Amino acid sequence: MNETGSPIGMTLGERYRILRPIGKGGMAVVYLAEDLREGGRKVAVKILRAELTTDAEFIRRFDTEAKAASSLSHQNIVKVFDVGEQDDLRYIVMEYVEGVTLKQMIQQRGRIPWETAVPLAIQIGLALDHAHRNGIVHRDIKPHNILVTPQMTAKVADFGIARAATANTITVTGGSALGSVHYFSPEQARGTLVGEKSDIYSLGILLYEMLTGRVPFDGDSAVTIAIKHIQDAPAPPTSIDSSIPNGLEAIVLKCIQKNPERRYDDVRALVDELDALMVEPDGVYGVLEDDGLEDSTTVMDPMRHGSDYGRLRDIEASMASRRRGRRRDAALVALLVLLLLGGMAYGAYQGYLWVLSVLNPENTGDFLVEDYVGRAIDDVKAVLENGQIDYLVKYVQSDTVEAGVVTAQSRPEGTRLKPGGASVIELTVSAGKDTIKIPDYTGQAVNLVQLELEKTFGLTVTIVRQVSPDVEKDKVIKTEPGAGQDVAKGGSVKIYVSSGLSRVQVPDIVGMKRLDALDELTRVNLVLGSDTVSSADLPADQQYVIRVSPAVGTTVSAGSAVDILFGSQQDYFLSLTPTPTPSPSPTPEPTATPTVEAPPDPTATPTTVAPPP
């Protein structure tokens, strides 16, 4: 590494020269590099963060990604070329994909038209189908892990927590989840068996976000969101955007069914329905299997007319109603029996665990809650994280208890919790006598805010810079803890500061078709402003860019809007033809009267000029 500890300039494996960073995540940093053996071909090199090189779990995940991705070869999966280790650096060499992440596209465009979103979902589905057929479940499908090229090709990346289809679960430990809580399935939230249908659920959530511009489940904490995945029903996509076809909504809702058995049998079945929807958007799709609670409706020929039709319909409705009633009664009886048996089984199981814990406490496999009151919160956190138990911490002011000491707990001593399960213990911790309520610093100059927090309040400040389209450079975006929240005196605060916007040039999109032009704007981090079309009935696939504002080549801030005038191809060619300018008529110069010398008259008497005297 160089003097700053950065690998930039290094050559890994005597082959890959590191040029510059192009992305980073919680586990690794991705660098642009050139392959010296392949004529300087650009590649992406993912390097495990230095602080994680001694963490066995992250090393295992890193190696899993390399093994999983390198075993797959598909046009919609980022290729892995090489894996290596040098000077305590673990690295993966991958295909370099020019473009943006799907998350960036959603943030820039908001809702993505279904005509664009569905082809992207089909490509992601094909990648997952290839992985599943090779026995690999991705387990972390989210828009951050999908790269989209300027040609609208989707490529799936980051198999960091992928696992064989027969392996066990994703777990939630220490307040964080393996997998992204906004996109993982109910079975991942519960910590139960994860399979191919978990990827189908995540793809459904991703498609929902593309169509509506937002995720279906959100909340203040990871635990809150996970519970919503398990319990809540999402808002129908058409309630957010009525232009979404009903069949596409049905497909999305089938993908994100809570019960995996009610989702598509496999990704290929989902892809086939999305393909069919692109051909016939008004078709019927996403049909859920009959649950046995209601018989299927008899379909009668709508062309058949007659006096018996109404009576037959009434008889059929009456019979269906009676059948539903009988099934409902039988289902209630069965449910009561199951609840009774389940209660008995649970009681027996708890009794068994109690006896087992008395005889040999080490063999239960459960986590036994201790009395944490009076202990330092850092020590308690370490115990819970080691036991894979989720926890929440709430700070309260106290005049009698030293700061950082636990004063109460939501689970009493002796409670048994399943490691990696959905159980959470809430800890109340003393913030000491002096707590400070963080003011709202949004939009204020960072140097003044830092001075106040450090000098006036005695807090430790960490500055985090972010690109922001809304907040002026060197002004505060937000703080952690946020405005209005309490922090113990002597505690720490993060200040998120705007680094402004990067500068880009307006690309030369004049003459491009509409979709190609919009893709190019997205590629350079610009957005569409005013959208003017020369003819209201001109189809989108026949629209060409006639004029842009600001002009091509103008340097603007990333995220700026570009106004575009669209017209037909004929309009475009006419715009290229300069309008002839009539030449002004020249002002005639005055014409001199010609002097004509007359011939001599032969009859005239010659004039004699006398010589001078």
Q: What mean pLDDT, rounded, does the chain reach?
A: 79
User: What does the alpha-carbon distance between residue 117 and residue 111 come to, in Å, rounded to a whole number?
Assistant: 9
Q: Structure tokens of 263?
A: 């989702």
Q: Rounded to the nearest 5 degrees, what angle is found at the Cα of 423, between the Cα atoms of 419 and 425?
A: 100
User: What does the alpha-carbon distance between residue 148 and residue 80 come to, in Å, rounded to a whole number?
Assistant: 17
Mean pLDDT lowest for which of 292-296, 321-325, 585-589? 292-296
Higher-confidence residue of 16 and 387: namely 16
Domains of the chain, start order: 1-96 (3.30.200.20), 98-290 (1.10.510.10), 365-430 (3.30.10.20), 435-498 (3.30.10.20), 503-576 (3.30.10.20)
Output the pTM of the full model: 0.48
Q: Structure tokens of 253?
A: 């809702």
Residues 6+ apart with CB under 8 A from 490: 403, 458, 459, 460
If one counts every other C-beta atom within 10 angstroms of the C-beta of residue 575, the result is: 16
**Average pLDDT of span 603-610:** 45
What is the predicted pLDDT for the residue at 81?
Answer: 86
464-474 tens-digit pLDDT: 887 776 788 88
If one counts every other C-beta atom within 10 angstroms of the C-beta of residue 541, the result is: 8
User: What does the alpha-carbon distance between residue 20 and residue 44 come to, in Å, rounded to a whole number?
Assistant: 10
Kindly write down the DSSP assignment for every residue of 13-51, as one continuous string: TTTEEEEEEEEE-SSEEEEEEEEGGGTTEEEEEEEE-GG
* Strand 154-156 versus strand 527-533 pairing type: unpaired
Gyration radius (Cα) of the chain, Å:
36
**Is 519 in the active site?**
no
What is the predicted pLDDT for the residue at 209?
Answer: 96
User: What does the alpha-carbon distance between residue 109 and residue 113 come to, in Å, rounded to a whole number?
Assistant: 9
Using the structure block, give the residue that is written with the tokens 């539903």: 324
If one counts every other C-beta atom within 10 angstroms of the C-beta of residue 137, the result is: 25
Mean pLDDT lowest for which of 191-195, 389-393, 506-510, 595-599? 595-599
What is the predicted pLDDT for the residue at 501?
Answer: 67
Q: CA-CA distances (angstroms) from residue 226 to 57, 177, 597? A: 23, 10, 115
Q: Which of 190, 170, 249, 245 is nearest to 216 (CA)?
A: 249
Q: Largest alpha-carbon pair distance within the chain?
A: 167
| Candidate list 35, 140, 158, 266, residue with the active-site label | 140
Which spans in 389-513 are helix H?
Answer: 446-451
Mean pLDDT lowest for which of 67-71, 88-92, 429-433? 67-71
User: What does the alpha-carbon distance between residue 248 and residue 114 come to, in Å, rounded to a whole number?
Assistant: 9
Sign of torsion over alpha carbons 26, 28, 29, 30: negative
